[in-house]
Amino acid sequence: MYAIVRCGGRQEKASVDGVLTVDKLAGEVGSSLTLPAVLVVDDDNVISDPAVLGGYQVTAEILGPVSGPKINIVHYKNKTGYRRRLGHRQKYTQVKITGITAGQAKATRANSASSGKAAGGSASSASPEKAAATSEKATASSGKKV
């Protein structure tokens, strides 16, 4: 079983007991964190539905900070004596995937939005004065009575 997780603006393949190198994260060594799953593959079963993926949790433990390779940058302009030498070394964090668990699926946004409309009602039923005013404006502009 493995999952594709989103971390640091990229998507990484994560399997249990695997070690990932991701962009620098704030956190102590040994602390755990939860990564959002984008796709889960369990043998032949592929899960990509966001409603179902909301129930999946990918937990990881921070192993420690690491540095990427040194990148040398040289700026040079001919006949002017302009020479600049720079370097850069990206900071990363290594995390170990401790588990991929399936929980209960969370309510989708569509379901929560429709239940909010049912509980609150529509705008016209909430304010009958506004509904009457808008119907009067409609008759005045069209010249016909409704």
Q: The pTM is what?
A: 0.62
Is 14 part of any domain?
yes
User: Both tokens of residue 73?
Assistant: 């940058």
Instruction: Using alpha carbons, list the distances in angstroms from residue 27 to 22, 24, 60, 66, 75.
Output: 13, 9, 12, 14, 36
Q: How many domains does the chain have?
A: 1
- Rounded to the nearest integer, the mean pLDDT of the chain is 80
Mean pLDDT of 7-23: 92
**What band does 86 get if pLDDT is binned at 50, 70 and 90?**
very high
Mean pLDDT of 95-99: 94
Report how far residue 8's alpha carbon sits from residue 11's, in angstroms, rounded to the nearest whole number: 8
Is 138 part of any domain?
no
Residue numbers of the domain that contains 44: 2-106
SS3 content of the chain, % helix, strand, coil (to 5): 25, 50, 25
Nearest to 29 by CA among 7, 59, 58, 61: 61
Nearest to 103 by CA among 36, 49, 56: 56
| pLDDT over 90, % of the chain | 48
